[in-house]
Structure 1
Amino acid sequence: MSFTEELSRIVGAENVLQEEHKLSYLVDKHHRLIGNAISVVKPKSTEEVAAIVRLCNKHKITITPQGGNTGFVGAAIPDDSENNIVLSLERMNSIRAIDLENDTITVDAGCLLHEVHEQASEHQRLFPLSFGAEKHCSIGGNLATNAGGSKVIRYGSARELTLGLEVVTAEGEIWSNLKGLRKDNSGYDLRDLYIGSEGTLGVITAAVLKLYPVPQAQKLAFLLFDTIKNAVTFLADIKPKLGAGLTAYELISANNLELVRKNRLVDELPFSDPKNEANWYVLLEFSDHENERHADDLIKTVIDAGINAGIVKSALVAKNKQQTKLFWRIRNIEISKAHQISERYLVRHDISLPVSQITQFLAITEQKLRKAYPHTASLIYGHLADGNLHYDVALRFSTTDAEFKIEQARITKIVHDGVRSLGGSICAEYGVGQIKVDQLLFYKTQIELDLMRRLKRAFDPQGIFNPGKIIPVNNLSDDKNLQIVKALGATS
């Protein structure tokens, strides 16, 4: 019996995709990466996942776990060898349980994020993980990348929102810890190791997630600042006044709004003239657990204080649900859409810094970029409250695809060197995947890399889970990595 026939016995022949049926699973969302696979396998249960892993061990076949395939760094795309399968968890999409007394929801890894939102809402609860891809991304993928989003400042990232996991190990065993405990000091925290490991240590098949009370009122304000320093200063000013009610503080550069206006993606922008590139915008969300009037008074008080102090230039508070949806739509959907429409050559970065270092980072990095590349535009947005910026650089000069790869490496080095010099990270919420894996050789210490490799060998001794992701294969002395050094413009 062939390997494919054995797979079919586990999940059914209709759930083993081959030839043209598998192609959409082999390409990333931006069509930058394409992999290869013997087949795409779609199990329905954790037991089927375990059987598939055991079979792959037997045949020495590697496995690329895949959720909604909405990632930016290629973590869910296989390499181009013919010795792997894509393990799609999309059929594992059940809500297993809701415990209102414990404020938890237990779900399969293939559940889409917005389905968890809907289930929580039906029970007058909130699951706060939130970002633009929520209708397409899966919980398993969110956990595999330790997803962040817009509400990290209040609720934390995916790791902080998870109480327990069910995981299939590299030997095909099932580790189930779906207890929903908030305190458990009985040894190493295996949950935290699996979350953020991008499918390189095991396959997450289910999770217990935290639920929260639904706020009695929410207020969303679009703020205008004339400097990034003022946006950072205002954040520090309002934190003690709003406390845990500060649930989002999202930064948007003026040229991002101008792209949205230029492409007519919304009927009306919150501010009439986004063309002044000295301007910065912030979406401020305040969630109140008292009442509407208290929320109105408090948001008005902090904004008026900012305006009177000359920190806030102008502000618009959403008048109704329709305007609230518009503000979030601009931030979560239309900016990315404008990039896709207008910018053929865009160098993407997902970085994090201490909030106190962001003003200095932008000043230094923008100066270096303008000097090296006068004909570029930095399209900056992100989660200012937790120091996470999406620092995208648009190349607005004549180039080719081959030239772009060279310029991309050089621009990335300028940005990432600036991040490192100020104690930041080159991987904030998108993860490492295959896009950034080799760069870790320059931005992680040797002891960090060694410890990561030891963990990989301990959890996955045969190396069957998601090869080529997170863990750089070689050391700096290898020819491949010397080539990378030269491409990045570093000293070899």
Structure 2
Amino acid sequence: MTDLLDRLRDVVGDDHVLTAADDVAAYVVDWTGVHAGAALAVVRPGSTDEVAAVVAACHEAGAPVVPQGGNTGLVAGGVPDASGSQVVLSLGRMRTVRDVDPVAGTITVDAGVVLADVQAAAERAGRLFPMSLGSEGSCTIGGNLATNAGGTAVLRYGMTRELVLGLEVVLPDGRVWDGLRGLRKDNTGYDLTQLFVGSEGTLGVITGAVLRLFPATTRHATAWVAVPGVAAAVALLGLAQERAGAHLSTFEIANRQALELVLAHLPGASDPLAEPSDWYVLVELAGTATDDGLDDSLEAILGDAVEADLAIDAAVASSPARRSALWALREGISEAQKVEGATLKQDVTLPIARLADWVDEIGPRVAAALPGVRPVTYGHVGDGNLHYNLSAPASSPASTEGRDGDADLRAAAAHLSTAIYDSVAAANGSISAEHGLGRAKAAAAASYKSEVEVDLMRAVKRALDPDGLMNPGALLPPP
């Protein structure tokens, strides 16, 4: 592969073809620290033309390519396997905001632009790009598109695929498809944009995107609410939707275990309520500068919820600082759980009406598989998405086999995952809501799909990537 490396250096320059172990280390392990591999090289192109030339060179050499954005994934979708034969294609240098059109409500960006920078560019133009994720300070738009990311604003604005109008994509043979038209209506054939969204780099490399912008929401009414259980949270969601309509922008849920981890590991965090509860929801109404009465609407919703036994207590944000503090309780969960120790990450979707029954049913099953395991449950009630993560037992002395609690969790991971997946499938849900499949969940997802569905996915893959060089093993298991 020396000839290939030389050719890649000719394309992007010596400084942007990394092969030394210390230089590639950050690119070959994912955010969880669990999934790690080895790379032939890490290549960092600075433009679409350079991406095309890199991909063409790899195609001619028969070298697999693993596209990578901010490397914040949780399912090994953006890191190489252990073979050492794959080229990691990092889009981190492609960070140009190409155009902002407030009138058309669009922003055109390179794939390597960090999500928070897209939000900031929209804000400077007096507009809103609504996608919001815990990793927004480091995840990139290309990765968001490749995984069809969700986040806390899906209830009002939808998933990533609903926020994109057009794409620029380098195909597996190095050709470039320029679909950056940004049209709201284009009924002239297959929707190729949507084909690449959620494809996890297995069909091509997204290098640019036209994204939708919305009116800025400068007014907010926010509350942290203690609820009796998941069923009450679902009922409260219905009440809030009925009363607040389109102003309801956030409806997040978290269990007490999740909050306790944040209180233990997030500096400055404090419990906003006097008494603990098993479950909480974060509710937010958002509106433009002309939307008066949001605070009154939220207060009325909460008052009715208490009377209907759907809420126990609530802390309402009285200032922007207080709002930020409430949001920190929700956004700090993932990082707090990582600090706590080993985590088994699960990202499931259930029909909203089935959420409460599913949580009640799965709890005893995981407890039986690993006594003392701690479900850290949080997510997005409005779209049925729960992050049902599992932490090791809190006080787990060394077992008879000499393992500590984290090792016990790792040893039980396959059994725990199967129990969760089987339960989700029985409830007509999905084992991946917004994190994608990567390599970690590709085989499991295929096993729960029909033969027809898997065949259709493989047919698309063969049509665009007949040599199987684009992110092999991600999204679909080997045939």
- What interval of TM-score do these two structures reach, taking the shorter chain for normalisation? over 0.9
Corresponding residue number in structure 1 for 2:111: 109
Query: Equivalences for 1:192-211 in 2 at 5 Å?
Result: 192-211=194-213
State the shift of 1:35 in Å: 1.2
Corresponding residue number in structure 1 for 2:336: 338
SS of equivalent residue, structure 1 residue 283: strand
* Letter matched to residue 328 of structure 1: W
Q: CA contact under 8 A between 1:222 and 1:315: conserved in structure 2?
A: yes
Deviations 1:382-415 (A, max 9, x none): 1111100000122314435765444101111111
Corresponding residue number in structure 1 for 2:464: 459
Unpaired runs of at least 5, structure 2: none
Asked if 1:3 corresponds to 2:4, the answer is yes
* Letter matched to residue 390 of structure 2: V
Corresponding residue number in structure 2 for 1:142: 144
State the shift of 1:338 in Å: 2.2
State the shift of 1:36 in Å: 1.3
How far, CA to CA, are the matches of 1:49 and 1:290 in structure 2?
A: 42
State the shift of 1:267 in Å: 4.3
State the shift of 1:255 in Å: 1.5
Q: CA contact under 8 A between 1:45 and 1:92: conserved in structure 2?
A: yes
State the shift of 1:216 in Å: 4.1
Deviations 1:327-375 (A, max 9, x none): 1112112x22321222x33221000011100011011111222334331
Q: Which TM-score applies when normalising by structure 1?
A: 0.92
Asked if 1:294 corresponds to 2:311, the answer is no
Figure out how many residues of one structure are paired with residues of the other and give that number.
Answer: 469
Corresponding residue number in structure 1 for 2:72: 70
How far, CA to CA, are the matches of 1:324 and 1:354 in structure 2?
A: 30
Q: CA contact under 8 A between 1:216 and 1:291: conserved in structure 2?
A: no
* Letter matched to residue 239 of structure 1: Q
Corresponding residue number in structure 2 for 1:17: 18
* Letter matched to residue 123 of structure 1: A
Q: 1:205 to 1:263 in 2, by over 3 A?
A: closer
Q: 1:411 to 1:268 in 2, by over 3 A?
A: same
**Greater alpha carbon shift after TM alignment, 105-114 vs 78-87:** 78-87
- The percent identity for this pair of structures is 40
Corresponding residue number in structure 2 for 1:44: 46
Q: CA contact under 8 A between 1:260 and 1:266: conserved in structure 2?
A: no
State the shift of 1:260 in Å: 2.3
Corresponding residue number in structure 2 for 1:248: 250
* Letter matched to residue 74 of structure 1: A
Deviations 1:151-206 (A, max 9, x none): 00100011000000000001111101111111111111111110000000000000
CA RMSD between the two structures: 1.5
Corresponding residue number in structure 1 for 2:362: 365
* Letter matched to residue 381 of structure 1: Y
How far, CA to CA, are the matches of 1:223 and 1:165 in structure 2?
A: 40
Corresponding residue number in structure 1 for 2:220: 218
SS of equivalent residue, structure 1 residue 418: helix
How far, CA to CA, are the matches of 2:379 and 2:281 in structure 1?
A: 10
Deviations 1:114-164 (A, max 9, x none): 000111011110000001100100000000000000000100011000000
* Letter matched to residue 242 of structure 1: A
How far, CA to CA, are the matches of 2:374 and 2:108 in structure 1?
A: 44
* Letter matched to residue 427 of structure 2: L
Q: CA contact under 8 A between 1:216 and 1:292: conserved in structure 2?
A: no
Deviations 1:295-353 (A, max 9, x none): 121111111111122211111111111111111112112x22321222x3322100001
Q: 1:159 to 1:267 in 2, by over 3 A?
A: closer
How far, CA to CA, are the matches of 1:270 and 1:197 in structure 2?
A: 41
* Letter matched to residue 18 of structure 2: L
Q: 1:264 to 1:101 in 2, by over 3 A?
A: closer
How far, CA to CA, are the matches of 1:469 and 1:164 in structure 2?
A: 24
Say which of 270, 273, 277 aligns to 2:272: 270
Asked if 1:378 corresponds to 2:375, the answer is yes
**Greater alpha carbon shift after TM alignment, 263-272 vs 82-91:** 263-272
Q: 1:198 to 1:264 in 2, by over 3 A?
A: closer
SS of equivalent residue, structure 1 residue 107: strand
Q: CA contact under 8 A between 2:446 and 2:476: conserved in structure 1?
A: no
How far, CA to CA, are the matches of 2:68 and 2:335 in structure 1?
A: 24
Unpaired runs of at least 5, structure 1: 475-492
Q: 1:24 to 1:372 in 2, by over 3 A?
A: closer
SS of equivalent residue, structure 1 residue 2: helix
* Letter matched to residue 22 of structure 1: V
Asked if 1:353 corresponds to 2:355, the answer is no
How far, CA to CA, are the matches of 1:121 and 1:239 in structure 2?
A: 27
How far, CA to CA, are the matches of 2:320 and 2:39 in structure 1?
A: 45
SS of equivalent residue, structure 1 residue 159: helix
* Letter matched to residue 184 of structure 2: R
How far, CA to CA, are the matches of 2:122 and 2:236 in structure 1?
A: 33
SS of equivalent residue, structure 2 residue 249: strand
Asked if 1:324 corresponds to 2:335, the answer is no
Q: Which TM-score applies when normalising by structure 2?
A: 0.95
State the shift of 1:418 in Å: 1.0
Corresponding residue number in structure 2 for 1:29: 31
Corresponding residue number in structure 1 for 2:279: 280
**Greater alpha carbon shift after TM alignment, 260-269 vs 395-404:** 395-404
Corresponding residue number in structure 2 for 1:170: 172
SS of equivalent residue, structure 2 residue 161: coil
How far, CA to CA, are the matches of 2:207 and 2:262 in structure 1?
A: 38
**Greater alpha carbon shift after TM alignment, 304-313 vs 147-156:** 304-313
